Structure formats: C-alpha cells, structure tokens
Structure 1
C-alpha cells in the first residue's frame, strides 16, 4: 500500500478510538516499553510531546516515569525547518508552534547525539520497520544526525499487517516497534 493511503487509513483508525481507549492503549505501550527496554538512571531518551487532536500516544506517562528515575528527557522542536533536541525538566515552559504542537520555549539544541532511545511518533510501521509519519521528513533528517547506536523505537496503537510499497532510499527504518501487545525488532530486516 502507498504511504498516502496508509496515512489516511491509520489516521481514520486513530480518530475512531475513544479518549479512554487511546489512554488504555498508551498505558499498554508504555508498560511494554519499560518491561522490554528497562530504561535506567543516566539514560538519555528523546521522545515526542503528543498532538492531542491526532490522538497520538500519551507520552506523559513516559516522561513522568523517566523523571522519577533520573533519566534525561529530550523533546523535538522545529527551528528553521530542522528538528532539534531540547532537554526538558519538571519546570520547563512550553508554548504552541504554528502547527499547534506543544514545544519547549527554549531554542537551545542539547547537542546530544548519543541517545539511548528515540521514541518516535508515526501513523504506521510495516514489518520491516519502515515508517509512515505526517510526510514532513523531520525524523529522517534527525536520524541521519545521531549516533547509529541510538535505538529508534516507534510507538503505535496498531500492529503491522501491510507493507509500505513506496519506501524511498532516504527513508530510515525503525529498530523496534512497540504496540499495546508486542515489541517487534527489525534488526536483519525481519522480526526476531
């Protein structure tokens, strides 16, 4: 299936979820992430602030857990059409950007390139770790700039059941996908 078709299909599936369903699925994704990866004090984790109107996975569960365990938290901010990584703390101030996405007020790029985990938003991922996002390409550019050792982890309400037919050579696949029921690994281009 083409990315445009998958984008439309999974946006509709997401919108069909009630707020309660989305929260319960987010909780299950969070629990699967913690049980599988066992993040620890001193880790550096980059993750997104969810866009409520798109019913993205609730990452506040992750943020609260990370802060309580002395795990450094970084979030994306778009500055001059580039995604930078800003470290946040309990008292970080946020504002809405032109797309109505919550971002830190600070424009200070952390300069961190060796994240332990990058928890990535997406609409869909196939069985090879190829992603369908919103089509802006911010994360592909970000993935190119970071350490190859950083684990790129997608989170999604839905398991992969269709292939993406129009993968481009510049698309950078995920290393893992965490869903409410599974943690899938894409090393060696297949499931573990």
Structure 2
C-alpha cells in the first residue's frame, strides 16, 4: 500500500482503540521493550511524548521508569526542525499548537548519540520502513544521529503490509516493538 493509504488506515485503527485498550497495549509494548533491551543507569534514551488525542503509545510509563532508573531522558521539541531537550523529574512542559506536550526549555542538548531513540509512527513494515505523520521531522533527525544510536519504533499493530512508496531519503528503523514481539531489521550486523 502507499504511505497515504497506510497513514489513513492505521490512524483510524488507532482511533478505534478505547483509552483503556490503548493503555493496556502500551503496557505490553513497554514490558517488551524493557525485557528485550534491558536499559541501564547512565544510558541516554530519546523518547517521544505521546499525543493523547491521536491515541499514541503511552510513553509516559517509559519516561517515568527511565527517570527512576537514572537513565538520561531526552524528548523532542519542534524548533527549527526537531531538537532534543534533556528532561528531569521537575521539567516543566507546555502544549504546543499541534497538541504535543513539550518542555518549556528551548535548550537543544546537542546530543547526537543515544543508546535508543524511541520513535513514533503510524505503521512500520517488515523491513523497518515507517509511516509517520508525513512531516519528515524524524527522517531529518535520524540523519543527525550517530550510527550507533538504535532507532526503535513502537506500535500496536504488526507489520503485515508492504510500504510501496519508500523514498531514497527515508531512513528505516532498526527495531520495532509491538504488543507481542520485538523485530530486528539489522541484516546480520549489529
């Protein structure tokens, strides 16, 4: 299917989830992430803050856990492109014009090496190609990262369909975490 069709289809599927279903599925994704990657104190993780009106994966449980485990947490903020702001338990957030909760701070950490970059998406295929909201923020962000930063998508849905219109500038994910499994897209090299 084409990205536009997949974007529409999976946005509708996500919106059809009740808030309780989305919460329970997010918990399963969180557990699968923790069990597979086993993040530890001192690591650096970039993680999106969910847009609740779009029923995104509840990454607030990830953020709370990471902060409790002394893992350094960075979240995206839209400035001139996407910047990474390091957050702490007392960080103040505000809602931007797109309904996204972001830190009040505009201070870009300048960090480009993260152990994990937990990435929002609407759909991901079996090759790690993702469909987001179509703004291109994450593809540009991925280009700025060190090659050792693991790009991890999280999704309620399994990768059952092929994305037919992958562009040469699209950067695939390294992993996808769903409610039932963790898929690796590395070709034997990690």
Matches of 1:133 and 1:158, distance apart in 2: 14
Matches of 1:102 and 1:64, distance apart in 2: 15
Listed one character per residue, the Cα deviations across residues 128-169 of structure 1 (whole Å, up to 9, x for unaligned) are 000000000000000000101000000000010000000000
> What SS does the corresponding residue of 1:76 show, helix, strand or coil?
strand
In structure 1, the partner of 2:67 is 67
In structure 2, the partner of 1:125 is 124
In structure 2, the partner of 1:94 is 93
In structure 1, the partner of 2:4 is 4
In structure 2, the partner of 1:17 is 17
Deviation at 1:188, TM superposition (A): 1.5
Deviation at 1:83, TM superposition (A): 0.2
Matches of 1:57 and 1:100, distance apart in 2: 15
In structure 2, the partner of 1:78 is 78
Listed one character per residue, the Cα deviations across residues 68-123 of structure 1 (whole Å, up to 9, x for unaligned) are 1100000000102x000000001101111121111000000001111000000000
In structure 1, the partner of 2:153 is 154
> What SS does the corresponding residue of 1:187 show, helix, strand or coil?
coil
Aligned length: 188
Matches of 2:7 and 2:158, distance apart in 1: 14
State the superposition RMSD in angstroms: 0.8
Matches of 2:42 and 2:99, distance apart in 1: 32
Matches of 1:21 and 1:94, distance apart in 2: 26
Structure 1: gaps (5+ residues): none
Matches of 1:100 and 1:20, distance apart in 2: 21
Deviation at 1:20, TM superposition (A): 0.6
> What SS does the corresponding residue of 2:50 show, helix, strand or coil?
coil
TM-score, normalising length: structure 2: 0.98
In structure 2, the partner of 1:56 is 56
Matches of 1:87 and 1:77, distance apart in 2: 10
